[in-house]
């Protein structure tokens, strides 16, 4: 019985409590949040640039490896035996 009363009281307390409104926070917190979001966007843009650069260089390296292998294979086939 005590548990039921405790559960009912807890539900009533949680149901009657007011949720936190955004207007309760001052402009200082809002300004800090905006600055943090701007920094996050800048970091994401910098990360994206490096990821694109790394991808392009990786593809270039693979293409150069394939081209070098093809040139070496052709040179080996065209070489005269001693």
28-50 confidence digits (pLDDT tens): 888 888 899 999 999 998 898 99
Backbone angles phi, psi at 39, to 5 degrees: -65, -40
Helix, strand, coil tally for the chain in percent (to 5): 85, 0, 15
- pLDDT tens column, 3-19: 888 888 887 777 777 66
| Closest alpha carbon to 69 in 77, 58, 59 | 77
pTM of the model: 0.50
Strand, coil or helix: 53: helix
**CA gyration radius, the chain:** 33
Report CA dihedral (44, 46, 52, 57) to the nearest 10 degrees.
Answer: -140
């Amino acid at each position: 019985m005590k548990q039921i009363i405790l559960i009912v009281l807890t539900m009533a307390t949680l149901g009657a409590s007011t949720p936190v409104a955004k207007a309760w926070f001052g402009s200082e917190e809002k300004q800090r949040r905006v600055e943090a979001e701007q920094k996050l966007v800048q970091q994401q843009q910098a990360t994206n640039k490096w990821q694109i650069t790394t991808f392009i260089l990786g593809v270039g390296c693979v293409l150069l490896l394939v081209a070098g292998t093809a040139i070496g294979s052709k040179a080996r086939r065209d070489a005269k035996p001693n």
